[in-house]
Structure 1
Amino acid sequence: MVTMLEVADVSAGACCAPLVREPLGPDDAARLAHKMKALADPTRLRLLSIVAAAADQEACVCDLIEPVGLSQPTVSHHLKILTEAGFLSRSKRGTWAYYRLVPSGLDSVTQALISA
């Protein structure tokens, strides 16, 4: 027994709805990926959360070592990544570095997720 298959006319219209806004361009996607990679680490998320929860949203690196259970150089490395991604700012006082939450740091990530 031969079964006949029905052929659909694919030229009649697109199978998908047209775009309603401009998608991310290559440069914007690369910048956003860099920021999201900085957040894609449990230790960095914890550090960001600790700084955000601190008085004036600022913390000394010396106060961030014990809560995450890592060495000072490792914590400093994670903080550097968060700073380069624009989530924290750094200031030096004596021998210690202090990190402050950048209020607008999450804006680009938030906007990308809202618009998605």
Structure 2
Amino acid sequence: MISNEAKSIRGAGDAEIVLQTDPVRMAFGRLATLFGAALLLGGCTNAGAPTIAMYGAYFPSWLACALAGILGAVVVRLIFIPLGLDDVLPIRLPVYVAVAAAIGFSVSLLGFGR
């Protein structure tokens, strides 16, 4: 017996496969797929990626911000060593990574923000 919500397909032999075709589930699945695609493609614009022209080549701006963050963290460490703060830090690597990220994000916001 086949209801309105199921379709039956006869395979080879006596096997029978029943496919569920609930219209609410199908609509929800399509809506979820469209929402996911819109969410993933929401950042794509025609303006292009921010780039910096250096020596005739175009570099992405995040690369310059990462380099600024790393150099800034090195400078902060060179300042912390004579002050004695480097010895007091409980976990140095995560602290300096956070300092580098904060400097890199600040350079990105101030240099390339809208």
Q: TM-score range by the shorter chain?
A: under 0.3
TM-score under structure 1 length normalisation: 0.27
Q: Which has the higher contact order (CA 8 A, sep 6+)?
A: 1
Name the larger-Rg structure.
2
TM-score under structure 2 length normalisation: 0.28
